[in-house]
Amino acid sequence: MMETLLFVPGWPGGPLAWAGGQTPVAYPAQFWDQIFNIWLVVAVIIYLVVALPMIYFLFRYRYRKGVNEEGSHEEGGFGIEILWTAVPLIIVIYLATQSFANYTQQRTAPPGALPVKVQGMMWAWTFEYPNGKKAVNDLYVPVGKPVKLLLTSTDVVHAFHIPEAKTMEDAVPGRVTHMWFQFNKIGEYRGYCREYCGTLHSMMLATIKVVSQDEFDKWLQQPS
Amino acid sequence: MAQAAVHHGEHETSVWPLSTGLAVLFAALALTAHFAWQMPLLGLVLGGGAAALLAVGIGGWAREFFTKGTEEGVGPIAVGAFIASEVIIFGTMFVAFWMGRIVYAEQWSAWIPSNLNLVLALWLTLILWASSGTIIMAERAMERGDRSASLGWIGATFVLGLLFVVLHMNEWAHLAAGGFKLGSSIYATTFYSLTGVHTSHVVIGLLMQIVLFGVVATRLMTPQRVTFFRASSIYWHFVDIMWLMVASNAYLVGGLR
Amino acid sequence: MQEAVAVQTPWFRASFKEWILTTDHKKIAVLYAVTSLVFFAVAGLMGLVIRLELTSPGMQYVSHDFYNYLLTGHGAVLLLWWAIAFWGAFTNFLIPLMIGARDVAFPRLNQLSYWFFFSASILVLITLIPSQHIKMMWTGYPPFSLNDGAGPTVLYVLIIWLVAGSTLGTGVNFITTVLKMRTPGVTLGRMNLMIHGLIGSIVIQLLGVPAFVGAVTMLFLDKYIGTGFFNPAVGGDPVLYQHLFWFYSHPAVYVMILPAFGVFSEVISAMSRKPIFGQKSMMIALWAIAILGFEVWAHHMFTSGMPDWLRIVMSYTTVLIAVPTGIKIFNWVATLHKGAIRFHTPMLFTLGGIFMFLIGGLTGIPLALPSFDIHVHDSAFVVGHFHYVLAMAVTFGAFSGAYFWYPKVTGRMFPEGLGKASFWLMLVGSNIFYFTQMMVGIAGMPRRYADYPAIPEWITLNEIQTVGAFILAAGVVLSFLAWIRGLKGPKADRNPWGSPSLEWTTASPPAPHNFDKFPVEVPEGWSPYHYGKRS
Ligand code: HEA
Ligand code: HEA
Ligand code: CUA
Ligand SMILES: [Cu+2]
């Protein structure tokens, strides 16, 4: 039922293949791209529906001496007001439901994701791998494999944002929060602190080093 | 309509709000001096100035209101609106309390102090309720025009309220001595905050009663102009009802193992 | 006779002593307006410094800490001193006039409310001293705000307490005034939408501000008295602050916009010479926004680590706000239909405000979708969204109102040419600025960044923003000039816009006691929007 009413990108054609054609640099960016496109279309249409009549009225009913000096005494219209209550209601409920469907997948890491513990502090990131290996400010991940970050903080609230994956989550002291992503292309990317945390908030950047599985395994075995 | 009779230009200007407002400014500067600038002496001086200005401001204000102003009878609406917002302030403390209570349900019982005195809570409740009764008696007496009886009942209310504050502060000292310190657990934090915020409201009520006593004793208030009386008494009832909520949460829900 | 004399002295002839001791709601309104405009200029200039610093990556003009102070000051002052307090001036000036009363219910309390606000202003000036900079941003999230690096927390707390004292005083005063002091014939259903907008925001403040007060009180206790509200080690939780903070600070955005909606309604109806379309549904929609606004606070916390189900619930409740807001937009458009539209300065600002609110509102919708917000939360996109609604819709509304009632307040006419030039500069500058701000946000630029990596796309977009900001600032300056020049302008008569609303039936500027005769009489079937020919 849900699937027929909504544009669910889902995972047709096997795990993590994007219905839209080309693969994004990182998952789960495709869900964001999709909700963005839907919103853009809806917003532009609504804008035109409001703005075009408004501009027309401004021109058509402008004050003209001797021709149009006084407006008509029109106080309202019940039917039309019902119309412009009901239509937006339907649109927004659709938008929220579409977002709901996407969000569930943006939040749920695929099974088998590599768990990495992340600790924010003023002003650096520590990453800890399942085997106990730690790294500061450099997040090594294997290409093509989902990674699940478990975030917390030792001092104030921070947040970890990965622009390519279009996802983020706060790192809160006393809590463990989670997010996931998967890079599909080898390279170096940036992770940003997205929650204001003091003087060097804007310098609290991490480097995400996406490497091949072999290289990653080798790196993981080196003592930190 | 209320307004037909009011505002005949007799108070285009008034110095008393300025005096009270300066008291507010001084108090704010006193707190800043104490906490941010580490200048406790300056804080004390400013705080003293604030208290003096406040006393002058409130006293003059009350006098001006009863000699020059006109009775509009709209006080209870204003107090009602004010109480609505007070309820929300208390609400924030309740939210903090319940968030801790639910999230830390397991650790909670370890936080309960062994010397938590439920019987005292009961006594405190009875004291406050009695004072709600006495203020009603005071109001009735004033409406009848029986000034001395009214003064007596206001005095009784004041004494009961003061007793409540003293007993409660004593209880805090006792609990703190037993290791139940402000920052030792979220229970302690919310316990002291709920009861502390409540006690601060009792103190405001007591200050209102001092003003009330003053205007009744000096015959500024007449049986025809009792709106201020009604407003103070509504506020006092609110403080009493709030105590029931505070006590049942801070003592009963909190103290239950 | 005392009153006949009084009629001869308008407010601007008052002595200094009268100014500081006044209990006249019109003089108090002017006090609020002047304070508010001064702080608007200061915080606007802070915004320009921020803009200069962001033009290119690296730190050129200020240090990280000073940038953070500027941004804290910019946000807090523009929200509290401009977007909220400027409406305090309208509340004070207009409400008693629009309901046909002599003054407010508690004139002395009204003066005291101003002194609370004044005291808060003094504290803001203290934060200008380098050692007193507060750097916790206007949101003041703990644990950072408890950190010594955030500056003197107590100043932030006191500023909120004092502003809250002022709003609560004003709140109880004007609720009582509107409920009890309306002249016969002005019913709650018929009175101006402007009053509904102002009272709607007052009711929101009365029920919301205490939550903010509670939150900062906890900050104060945690920092100085030793409690553990936000200390996870003893069972406290920093997210609690965010819930309490947004429980007020989301509805607060409607505190800012509802009076602007009021202005739009007054102006669009007066300048089209048509009754406002669907006055009753406009009123219901306005109160629906005020009420729904309390059920959506956690949409600012979609990434804060709260449970996923709460994020979804808050997303649905948030988007529902679009429905009553849409009703208002469509009804304004319908008001233009078959009107006789005059393009005076206030009308230009109102039309611009509506167009820009539409963009701001439509960019609020995706923020309410967690699926979208997960990438743009705390990015420049959010900043662009709220500058559209705040720095354009609210500010245009405030400017429109200032021009519309300028003849009533001062008794003079402002220079139209300057007003119109100001409008066009502001419109063009704002759009260049804020639209590119949203674009750089989509491209990933975080907010509250004093410095940023040298990504070519970001640099170009930031340069364009700065150009826009300066065009916009030039427009603002022209309006300030128009208002100053207008004080020497030609005399305005009682009712330059030909409106049936009550404030226009008395002299400009109104006499100390507002009307010549009490109770003020209104004709049978009166409406503040009684325009147009009946056919
Ligand atoms: C005047 C101020 C104002 C106003 C009116 C609004 C209006 C809205 N805002 Fe905005 N907002 C702010 C000021 C304001 N906001 C500020 C200051 C912040 C940042 C705070 C900070 O972090 O510092 C913020 C942040 C903010 C966030 C958090 C983003 C984040 O931090 O990640 C969200 C998320 O939901 C949001 C949503 C909305 C929505 C849904 C509306 C709605 O009310 C808009 C409704 C209007 C419309 C939709 C247009 C008209 C409607 C129609 C024409 C009908 C048809 C429409 C549809 C069917 C869609 N806002
Ligand atoms: C109503 C609210 C409001 C208004 C009007 C504005 C107006 C402006 N804002 Fe801002 N802004 C906020 C509310 C507002 N803002 C908030 C809440 C934040 C978030 C803070 C936070 O993150 O905590 C923010 C954040 C913010 C940022 C984001 C910074 C970052 O995240 O790192 C930027 C950057 O460009 C900015 C710039 C500006 C500029 C250039 C203006 C310009 O429009 C200003 C134009 C006005 C002037 C320049 C004044 C001109 C007047 C004079 C010069 C007086 C002349 C006098 C005489 C002639 C006598 N603002
Ligand atoms: Cu860490 Cu911002
Ligand atoms: Cu919001």
pLDDT (tens digit per residue) in C492-521: 888 888 888 899 988 888 887 888 877 888
CA pair distance C371, B223, nearest whole angstrom: 65
Given A64, A95, A122, which is nearest C319 (Cβ)? A95
Of B104, A32, A65, whose CA–CA distance to C379 is shortest? A32
Q: Residue whose CA is closest, atom 51 of ligand 2?
A: C41
E strand or H helix that includes residue A15: none
B184 touches chain C (CB under 8 A): yes
- Give the gap in angstroms from C-alpha B245 to the nearest C-alpha of chain C: 17
Predicted confidence at residue C234, as pLDDT, reads 82
Nearest CA in chain C to B102: C235
Does one domain contain both A92 and A131?
A: no
- Scanning the structure block, which residue is given the tokens 């049986």? B223
The CATH code that applies to domain B74-253 is 1.20.120.80
Which residues sit with their C-beta closer than 6 Å to ligand 1? A 46, 50, 88, 91-92; C 139, 253, 256-257, 299-300, 318, 321-322, 325-326, 329, 358, 361-362, 364-365, 367-368, 373, 377-378, 382, 385-386, 389-390, 394
Show which of residues 114-173 on chain A sit within 8 Å of chain C, judged by CB atoms: 122, 155-157, 159, 161, 163, 166-170, 172-173
Q: Relative to the CA of A95, which ligand 1 atom is closest? A: 59
Q: Residue whose CA is closest, atom 1 of ligand 3?
A: A158
Show which of residues 201-230 on chain B sit within 8 Å of chain C, judged by CB atoms: none
Low-confidence ranges of chain C (pLDDT < 70): 1-13, 533-535
The CA C434 to ligand 1 mean position distance, Å, reads 15
Chain length of chain A = 224
Which residues sit with their C-beta closer than 6 Å to ligand 3? A 120, 123, 158, 193, 195-197, 201, 204
DSSP characters over C73-87? HHHHHIIIIIIIHHH
Does one domain contain both A86 and A162?
A: no
B and A touch per CB criterion (3+ pairs under 8 A):
no
- Scanning the structure block, which residue is given the tokens 């801070």? B250
Low-confidence ranges of chain A (pLDDT < 50): 1-5, 8-19
Q: One-letter amino acid identity for C426?
A: M
Does one domain contain both A98 and A127?
A: no
C7 touches chain B (CB under 8 A): no
B21 touches chain C (CB under 8 A): yes
Give contacts of B200 with chain C, Cβ < 8 Å.
none
Show which of residues 162-191 on chain C sit within 8 Å of chain A, judged by CB atoms: none
CA pair distance C523, C185, nearest whole angstrom: 8
Of C201, C393, C187, C193, whose CA–CA distance to C281 is shortest? C193
Q: Show the tokens assigned to C60.
A: 């050129």
- pTM: predicted TM-score of the whole model, two decimal places: 0.92
CB pairs under 8 A between B and C: 207
Predicted confidence at residue B179, as pLDDT, reads 80
The CA C297 to ligand 1 mean position distance, Å, reads 11
- Given a contact cutoff of 8 angstroms between Cβ atoms, the answer to whether B32 and C154 are in contact is yes
B and C touch per CB criterion (3+ pairs under 8 A):
yes
- Scanning the structure block, which residue is given the tokens 């405190």? B124
How many structural domains are present in chain A? 2
Strand-pairing partners, residue A62, are C341
Q: One-letter amino acid identity for A144?
A: G
Does one domain contain both A215 and A122?
A: yes
Show which of residues 181-210 on chain A sit within 8 Å of chain C, judged by CB atoms: 190, 192-203, 205
Whether the CB of C472 sits within 6 Å of ligand 2: yes
Does one domain contain both A31 and A47?
A: yes
In a domain, A122, yes or no: yes
Q: Show the tokens assigned to A222.
A: 């080196």
List pLDDT tens digits, range A40-68. 999 999 999 999 999 999 988 888 887 77
DSSP characters over C463-527? HHHHHHHHHHHHHHHHHHHHHHHHTTSPBP-S-TT---SGGGGS-SSPPTTSSSSSSPP--TT--
Check A95 against C326: CB less than 8 A apart: no
In a domain, A24, yes or no: yes
Show which of residues 64-103 on chain C sit within 8 Å of chain A, judged by CB atoms: 64-65, 68
Q: Residue whose CA is closest, atom 39 of ligand 1?
A: C364
Check C17 against B13: CB less than 8 A apart: yes
C55 touches chain B (CB under 8 A): no
Does one domain contain both A118 and A174?
A: yes
Could you tell me which residues come within 8 angstroms of residue B148 by beta carbon, excluding any fewer than 6 positions away? Answer: none
Q: Show the tokens assigned to A92.
A: 């927004």
- Given a contact cutoff of 8 angstroms between Cβ atoms, the answer to whether C32 and C116 are in contact is no
Kindly indicate whether the ipTM for this predicted assembly is greater than 0.85, answering yes or no: yes
Average pLDDT, chain B: 85
The C-alpha torsion from B135 through B140 and B141 to B145, rounded to 10°, is 140
Q: One-letter amino acid identity for B49?
A: G
C228 touches chain B (CB under 8 A): yes
- Given a contact cutoff of 8 angstroms between Cβ atoms, the answer to whether C23 and B13 are in contact is yes
- What would be the CATH architecture of the domain defined by C20-505? Up-down Bundle (1.20)
Q: What does the pLDDT average to over B129-138?
A: 91
Whether the CB of C510 sits within 6 Å of ligand 2: no
Structure-model confidence comparison of residues B257 and C155, the more confident one: C155
Does one domain contain both A139 and A86?
A: no
Q: Name chain C's partners: 3 or more CB pairs within 8 A.
A: A, B
- Give the gap in angstroms from C-alpha B15 to the nearest C-alpha of chain C: 6
Check C176 against B99: CB less than 8 A apart: no
- Given a contact cutoff of 8 angstroms between Cβ atoms, the answer to whether C430 and C392 are in contact is yes
Give contacts of C107 with chain B, Cβ < 8 Å.
7, 11, 14
The CATH number of residue A178's host domain is 2.60.40.420
Structure-model confidence comparison of residues B167 and B256, the more confident one: B167
Per the rule left: phi > 0, alpha: psi between -120 and 50, beta: everything else, C378 is left
List pLDDT tens digits, range B194-246. 898 899 999 999 999 999 998 888 888 888 788 888 888 899 999 999 999 89
List pLDDT tens digits, range B65-104. 888 776 677 778 888 888 988 899 898 888 888 888 888 8
Q: Relative to the CA of A196, which ligand 3 atom is closest? A: 2
In a domain, A70, yes or no: no
Answer whether residue B1 shows pLDDT above 70: no
- Give the gap in angstroms from C-alpha B132 to the nearest C-alpha of chain C: 24
Show which of residues 214-243 on chain C sit within 8 Å of chain A, judged by CB atoms: 232-233, 236-239
The CA A39 to ligand 4 mean position distance, Å, reads 19
Strand-pairing partners, residue A187, are A210
Q: How far is residue C459 from each of residues A153, A170, C440, C465, measured CA to CA in Å?
A: 31, 27, 9, 10
The CA C43 to ligand 2 mean position distance, Å, reads 6
The CA C74 to ligand 2 mean position distance, Å, reads 6
Show which of residues 9-68 on chain A sit within 8 Å of chain C, judged by CB atoms: 29, 31-32, 35-36, 39, 43, 46-47, 50-51, 53-54, 57-58, 61-64, 68
What 3-state DSSP class applies to A187?
A: strand
Check A75 against C281: CB less than 8 A apart: no
Predicted confidence at residue A11, as pLDDT, reads 41
Check C208 against B91: CB less than 8 A apart: no
C123 touches chain B (CB under 8 A): yes
- Given a contact cutoff of 8 angstroms between Cβ atoms, the answer to whether C210 and C254 are in contact is no
Q: How far is residue B65 from each of residues B11, B72, B213, C323, measured CA to CA in Å?
A: 10, 11, 15, 47
CB pairs under 8 A between A and C: 259
Question: Which residue, A88, A107, A126, sits at the end of a domain?
Answer: A107
Nearest CA in chain C to A64: C340
Max intra-chain CA distance, chain B: 65
Give contacts of A36 with chain C, Cβ < 8 Å.
366, 372, 442
User: Any idea what DSSP says for residue A166?
Assistant: T
Q: Residue whose CA is closest, atom 6 of ligand 2?
A: C391
- Give the gap in angstroms from C-alpha C11 to the nearest C-alpha of chain A: 35
Containing structural domain, residue A160: 114-221
Going by their DSSP bridges, the two strands A167-171 and A158-162 should be labelled as antiparallel
Where do the structural domains in chain C lie, given as residue ranges?
A: 20-505
